[in-house]
A and B are shown apart, each in its own frame.
Chain A
């Protein structure tokens, strides 16, 4: 969860309002309530994984609309990334390749 805290800190410092979920199931619940400008989604998570969350979101409508979903993972399997994009993720990033500033930059562009 260290990484989640890292991004939470950095995004809060950049002036964003951040809500976190501790597992895929909670994440899906929050996303289905909706109203988020951007959703950062990991793949490997407890309870539900990122692909399951994407699939569930694809087949349902959130109560309030959400902005784009960004998958942030440390997997670099092209099949997984391809699958995520096909299931509706706007972009996929490999976490180790980005500095915290680059993450904020990318989020800002999408919210922008």
Chain B
């Protein structure tokens, strides 16, 4: 070959290489974005035909057991159209029986190697016998993933073109595994999504059953608790006429029953939260008013432990939240403060307006919380190792703060704590102002 021819040849090679890379890149992008196999295949065959100048194309894929080759994509061109009209069915209903039909697609599928034939119409036999099969060359290629047969695809050259160019032959062969990978990837993706959906549905159903169970059990546990709390309360009303030891013992029974009742409530709350069934009635409310109510309620405990509890006198502080739940959170935080603050200590509840939110601070001069424990505070059953957990009339279960966190977050706020061992702690939560 003379140098000029050599150069020309090398240039041509480069052009072809470029074209191939471009095409493969384009197909890769299609494969990445695709959600459904039909999508990928249709786009593939359209792209291949457009870029390489083929006139018609079609693609068949095999079922899992390799018994059928189903039509999955085809260019809407002359012979294809005629065949589909003649069959009168939808694309997804067209299929060849592998062990039975005499067909080039089947041959290529089984042999895993390409074939050349003439006349696209021939590929439709024996499903439909088109009298006019066409004159163009047809190239049939297998689609493979690894060593697995996935199907095959066929393309026809333009009229008058008798043979495939070297470039075309190389590219089409090169595309077979790309095709295979793309189909595989999309199939796996689809199967994964379906498995995920099934799993999610199962988990949801389990959560619902659990929630129902917990609701029933809570009700049944509360029934005797009502009687216990009620009658002990009545006995305590007669304390004047009872020995002081008996009164003390009755008080313990009363406090324990209240704790039990609170625990049942917390369990119910946690179950509802996890099943996504906690419903909040959000309304405009005065959180300072709620805090004042809580102060009244917890006054007996405060006095007994010789503490002082102050709520900032700010007038109305309006937030958007569920009134009952805000009350619950405040009782929880203040009760904890009471529990962990030794005699003579001080608890304050204050409010801060900041950027469209109201932050409520519950500060105490109590024993404080160690840094490593701060992270565990708002988790389920996050008990701290500091054992100042004496018999106390304050609330306090492993679930209380967890429920507070969920309630605050569901209301659009955040909850956090700051503390210094030996000095005290401040628990704060934010809620949308209004």
Instruction: Mark A residues whose CB is within 8 Å of B.
Output: 2-3, 6, 9-10, 44, 73-79, 94-97, 99-101
Contacts and interface: CB of A to CB of B under 8 A. Distances in A.
B230 interface: yes
A6 B219 contact: no
A76 B269 CA distance: 10
Contacts of B237: 101
Given A2-B227, A3-B227, A6-B227, A74 B233 contact: no
B262 to A, nearest CB: 9
Nearest to A80: B215
B225 interface: yes
Interface in B280-325: none
Contacts of A94: 222
Interface in B150-208: none
Interface of B, helix, strand, loop or mixed by DSSP: helix
The 8 closest A-B pairs by CB, nearest first: A74-B222, A2-B227, A6-B230, A95-B226, A96-B261, A3-B226, A96-B222, A78-B279
Nearest to B236: A99
A44 B219 contact: yes
B231 A6 contact: yes
B391 interface: no
Contacts of B222: 74, 94-96
Interface of A, helix, strand, loop or mixed by DSSP: helix
Interface in B217-234: 218-219, 222-227, 229-231, 233-234
B256 to A, nearest CB: 13
Nearest to A82: B279
B432 interface: no
B27 interface: no
Contacts of A10: 230, 234
A99 B218 CA distance: 19
22 contacts: A2-B227, A3-B223, A6-B227, A6-B230, A6-B231, A6-B234, A9-B234, A10-B230, A44-B219, A74-B223, A75-B219, A76-B218, A94-B222, A96-B225, A96-B226, A96-B229, A96-B261, A96-B264, A96-B265, A100-B230, A100-B233, A100-B234
A44 B226 CA distance: 14
B210 to A, nearest CB: 15
B279 A3 contact: no
Nearest to B233: A99
Contacts of B261: 96-97
Contact of A2 (B218, B224, B279): B224
A74 B229 CA distance: 13
Given A3-B223, A95-B222, A77 B215 contact: yes
Given A3-B230, A96-B226, A96-B229, 13 more contacts: A2-B224, A2-B226, A2-B227, A10-B234, A74-B218, A74-B219, A75-B215, A75-B219, A77-B215, A96-B225, A99-B229, A99-B230, A100-B233
B268 interface: yes
Interface in B226-278: 226-227, 229-231, 233-234, 237, 261, 264-265, 268
